[in-house]
Amino acid sequence: MSTTTTGKTDKTDKATQDLQDVVAKISGWPEPYATIGTRLHETILAAGPKLKPRIWYGMPGYATSRTAPVVVFFRLDGDTMSLGLSEKATVAREPGTTLHPSAWFLSEIDDATLAKVSELVRTAFS
């Protein structure tokens, strides 16, 4: 691994580029999805400050390292935004069933939803 004159490694530069790619992807979405995506991105990183964002299947994904499996992601498909947990997430079964919650649709964002996202992120990476 090479080091730049500022002492940063190529790995740090790649992580910075990954973050910039995610922010650029989100900012390129039409409203209200750019705002929803920005708030989701900020909430995910606040709930998991050691998480590393990157583009995953063309959309924002979050993992514990640049090469670790993505656990939390969100995507915009046309006019449908979804938040999801990959099979690598720690998720409890829904009470009384064998179902594990793994995806939610969003058309707007509020503080209660962001609080739930924070909880999901903290649990998913535990």
Quick: pLDDT tens for 66-113. 899 999 999 999 999 999 999 999 988 889 999 988 999 999 999 999
SS3 43: helix
The two beta strands, 52-56 and 80-85, are: unpaired
Query: What is the mean pLDDT of the segment spanning 54-70?
Result: 95
Question: What is the set of domains in the chain, with CATH numbers?
Answer: 8-124 (3.90.1150.200)
Instruction: Give pLDDT, residue 12.
Output: 72
What is the reported pTM?
0.86
Residue 1: is its pLDDT beyond 60? no
What lies within 8 Å, CB to CB, of 121 at 6+ separation is 43, 44, 47, 48, 51, 62, 72
Kindly state the tokens that stand for 114: 């962001």
Residue 39: is its pLDDT beyond 90? yes
Query: What is the mean pLDDT of the segment spanning 50-67?
Result: 95
Instruction: Give pLDDT, residue 93.
Output: 87
Residue found by looking up tokens 């670790």 in the block? 68
CA-only gyration radius of the chain, Å? 15
Residue 52: is its pLDDT beyond 80? yes
Quick: pLDDT tens for 2-27. 444 555 557 679 989 999 999 999 99
Name the nearest CA neighbour of 89 among 49, 65, 123, 43.
123
